[in-house]
Amino acid sequence: MSMTFSGQVALVTGGAAGIGRATALAFASEGLKVVVSDLDAANGEATVEAIRAAGGEACFLRCDVTREADVKALMEGVIGAYGRLDYAFNNAGIEIEKGKLADGGEDEFDAIMAVNVKGVWLCMKHQIPLLLAQGGGAIVNTASVAGLGAAPKMSIYAASKHAVIGLTKSAAIEYAKKKLRVNAVCPAVIDTDMFRRAYEADPRKAEYAAAMHPVGRIGLVEEIAAAVLYLCSDGAAFTTGHALAVDGGVTAI
């Protein structure tokens, strides 16, 4: 199936590493111009250089998604760089907490909610007018399997990802007749720097993380990128308001 993306423009937040970098590279490989955004300018620029080295076109714009002024400036930068926006992948997120609900702190709660929920909301708020100006398009938000059910010892993170799915579904219905589709991807454990930081001190936990997936391994960033591109493609033209589990079978148990 052709992705039919040539000449269009995609924005990827959290594009400095992991799922964001893989998705930015995947968009570029399909002929899109890509705006990579992140707080981490050095690694964000590295993503852009990787795209250019492969023959693609991209630029980096730094943004703190928790600040509306930054998000507004990001959208202005997208238009300034390429004149349009067709697809947005709202992937910027913060790591999970590691304790039971009653052990959590207010600062931790505020930080997770600010990035994972407010950040997605602000990005969609300012992306939607640009997408509507092009006659529609697609937004994909990064949620999690933790947003599809219970997630012991990461209740704040789970709540934030349930909220992302709520934002996704609500926006999808609000703009369904405007040819703007809004979906979410819900990864299980994926092989990213975040995963390695969480499990490098105890290899047994990494083995357990692999074993909890019915397919017997954790996921790859390229597999999430492929799901994002599908949700943006014409092949998903009848798909909106969906939270797509890309989880090695975890949610089927």
User: Which residues are catalytically annotated?
Assistant: 157
Strand-by-strand arrangement of the 9-13 sheet: 57-62, 33-38, 9-13, 87-90, 137-142, 180-187, 243-246
What CA–CA distance (Å, rounded) separates 161 from 144?
A: 6
- Mode of pairing for the β-strands spanning 87-90 and 137-142: parallel
Place of tokens 């570029």: 28
**Burial (Cβ within 10 Å: 0-12, 13-18, ≥19) of residue 42:** exposed
At 204, which helix (H) or strand (E)?
Answer: helix 203-211
What CA–CA distance (Å, rounded) separates 191 from 141?
A: 19
CA angle 2, 8, 10 (to 5 degrees): 100
What CA–CA distance (Å, rounded) separates 81 from 150?
A: 42
Q: Is the Cβ–Cβ distance between 140 and 92 less than 8 Å?
A: no
- Mode of pairing for the β-strands spanning 243-246 and 87-90: unpaired
